[in-house]
Amino acid sequence: MTTVTYSLDEFVHDMNVLIDDKADQEKIFDVGSTQLERLINNPEAIPDEFRFPAGSSNHGSYLLHYGDNGLLITTVVWGPGDHIGPHDHRTWGMIGVMDNSIHETRFRRHDDRSRDDYAELEKDRLTVVKPGDVSLLIPDVDEIHQMDNPGDRPTVEVHVYGTDLRGLERSRYDLETGAVTHFATKKFSNC
Ligand SMILES: [Fe+2]
């Protein structure tokens, strides 16, 4: 039997073709998610050093690729019990799970978005995203989520975004008070 593998370099190449051809968001999700599924099904695709929490922390996020066309690829590692509350992304995104699984809770925003510091969210669904599965982040439509790893070993994901998250203003949402706070990713664990 021949083992067909799909490398990170091939994935970067194929995503660049899509983006440089000015594919619309629907096509990026359609074709790109299939390519991401191929990547995360290759256990050799991501070096071991990017599959563990960073240092003494229980979390890791590692830059794998960033290009002038905005394509950003990272791995994100959620240690046992790791959690992040509801937040948004402000760009299209695809998240593929490689190892273990993640509990992803999605929320819908119900207010008229007239206020910068307040939002009404309603829980939409909880999905247990398993190895080989890809979930999509659709800007303004379906992109607010909470992530939890209730397991006893790290969950490893590959994240793909349409722009650099470093310095991009995003929002965190407090479900109890409705308060919205703004934040930006400053750096990744490896740079
Ligand atoms: Fe997120």
Question: CB within 8 A of 2, min separation 6: which ones?
Answer: none
Q: What is the identity of the amino acid at 83?
A: H
Judge whether 93 and 161 are in contact, CB under 8 Å. yes
Bridge partners, 144 (sequence order): 107
Looking at residue 1, its pLDDT comes to 55
Please return the burial class of 152, using the count of CB atoms within 10 Å of its CB with bins 0-12, 13-18 and 19+. Answer: exposed
- b/e per residue, 22-58, with b = 16+ CB within 10 A? ebeeeebbeebbebbebbbebeebbeeebbebbeeee
pLDDT at residue 3, rounded to an integer: 57
Centroid of ligand 1 to alpha carbon of 3 (angstroms):
32
CA of 144 from ligand 1 middle (Å) equals 7
pLDDT value at position 53? 97
Ligand 1 centroid–CA 106 distance in Å is 10
Gap from CA of 1 to ligand 1 centroid (Å) = 38
The answer to whether 118 and 175 have CB atoms below 8 angstroms apart is: no
- Ligand 1 centroid, distance to 20 Cα (angstroms): 25
Q: What is the pLDDT of residue 2?
A: 54
Distance CA 158, CA 94 (A): 8
- How is residue 89 written in tokens? 């992304």
Going along the chain from its start, the domains and CATH numbers come out as 48-183 (2.60.120.10)
Strand partners, 76: 61, 157
pLDDT at 4: 67
Query: 88 C-alpha to center of ligand 1: Å?
Result: 6
Q: For residues 106 and 57, is the Cβ–Cβ distance under 8 A?
A: no
Query: 89 alpha carbon to ligand 1 midpoint, in Å?
Result: 6
| Complete edge-to-edge strand list for the sheet that includes strand 155-161 | 59-66, 72-78, 155-161, 93-99, 134-137
> Would the pTM count as exceeding 0.75?
yes
pLDDT score for 48: 95
pLDDT tens series, the chain, 191 aa: 555 699 999 999 999 999 999 999 999 999 999 999 999 999 999 999 999 999 999 999 999 999 999 999 999 999 999 999 999 999 999 999 999 999 999 999 999 999 999 999 999 999 999 999 999 999 999 999 999 999 999 999 999 999 999 999 999 999 999 999 999 999 999 99
